[in-house]
Amino acid sequence: MTNSNKQFLILMYWHIGSWKTTLAQKIENKFNINRINNDSIRIWMKNNISCYKEIDISHRTEITTHMNQSVRDIRDSIIKDLISFWQSIILDSGNIRKITRTRILDLKKYATKQIETIIIKCNIKEYILLNRLEERDIETDNTTKRKEFYLTKKKFEMENLKENEADHILEFTQNNTQEILSKLESILQ
């Protein structure tokens, strides 16, 4: 449980397949923090808005580009609301570009008190990431092409974190889950 006198904005940082969601769910459950996940918003839109029902959200098209902008707008609106309601948040999303992280961290201006920021970098070796992405592609009969998308686009969009981007930067290696949870516990108290 988080300290009710403190408010936190936690950003997960890295590419799809790096165990971001797995760790974010553990943090959500252990500390009772609101978790926002872009994929959940995207799936809700696909299931509930008729023009999105027939599209394949795993492929980049003009309509998915527009949909992704709507997802970002909805996500940012939810973050603003939660911040203004004095709620702590974990954003379970890639946040690989500095401009994206800056835009999200700038939302803390809606806080009525100081909000602490934490970025968790999910540091996974590239060969492990490529294997995970390939496994996910095989699971979907190679219709998603996540590995190809990473190699041709996302890999080159990755922008390194700067020390001053957040109050705390933690590095998750898939082998240090308990260490991350312990560090968060001391920060969140």
CATH fold of 7-124+163-188: Rossmann fold (3.40.50)
Name the residue ranges covered by the structural domains of the chain: 7-124+163-188
- Which parts of the chain are beta strand (E)? 7-13, 34-37, 89-92, 115-122, 168-172
At 144 the pLDDT is 64
Residues 6+ apart with CB under 8 A from 33: 2, 8, 10, 27, 88, 89, 90
Look up the pTM and report it: 0.84
pLDDT one-digit tens code per residue, 65-119: 899 899 999 999 999 999 999 999 999 987 777 888 888 888 888 887 889 999 9
